[in-house]
Amino acid sequence: MGAARVLMIEDEPEIRRFVRMALESEGLEVFEAGTLQRGLIDAATRRPELVVLDLGLPDGDGVDFIREFRGWSSSPILVLSAREGEDRKVQALDAGADDYLVKPFGVAELLARARVQLRRHGAGGNDGDPVLSFGDIVVDRALRQVSRDGQRLHLTPIEYRLLQEFCAAPGRVLTYQHLLKAVWGPDHMDDLHYVRVHMANLRKKIEADPNRPRWLITEAGVGYRLDPKA
């Protein structure tokens, strides 16, 4: 992952030490903050390339940090939370977080998710590159074409718009609400079945085994993410 700067905002010293050791083992430069306010100060001065954030901070809600940070930075945010409630995950993701891990978690998963976010950020996102490939799938957004193993896939307009959302943010969890608003518009925010039906159809065309998806991963009760490195 290289010597990228990571800001870890966590009030529990043992977890800070655990996460720091894991990230430093990958050659990352890690800075620590134990409160929301200290985190905001360090984020402004350190300019981290990744933020690892606990939601339950002693002086405020981590979601408030996300909203303020997103006002001036697009660096990815990986949320750590002991709260398994889906509403909290959705709230954090909709505020601008990129991914989340529920405590307790393992070192391997932490590092894998950090790598995904740092790669995406290091590439400056995918807005400037119209072509994204994963496995035998190639998405050419300039030509609005999708191919699998060299053969063009015929996607419906809705399926293509869904795939385009994932290609714009590979590795990021996209909530049901995000997808509904982006693809169907704000008048369809309660039509969750739209997403499920069209995602099932998209997987049939993208995945080798739609029942065991490799690329379009379900985040239970929250949404989906594209995992281009699977």
* Spatial separation of the C-alpha atoms in residues 208 and 93, rounded to whole Å: 29
Q: Is the dihedral of CA 89, 90, 94, 100 positive or negative?
A: positive
Q: Which CATH number fits domain 131-226: 1.10.10.10, 1.10.357.10, 1.10.630.10, 3.40.50.300?
A: 1.10.10.10
User: pLDDT for 90-117, tens place per residue?
Assistant: 889 988 999 999 888 899 999 999 998 8
Q: Is the peptide bond before 104 cis (omega within 30 degrees of 0)?
A: yes
Joined tokens for residue 186: 């704000």
User: pLDDT for 34-57, tens place per residue?
Assistant: 999 999 999 988 889 999 999 989
pTM listed for this prediction = 0.69
Domain with CATH 1.10.10.10 in the chain: 131-226
- Mean pLDDT over 149-163 rounds to 92
User: pLDDT for 55-83, tens place per residue?
Assistant: 989 999 999 999 889 878 889 999 988 76
CATH no., domain 5-122: 3.40.50.2300
User: pLDDT for 16-25, tens place per residue?
Assistant: 999 999 999 9
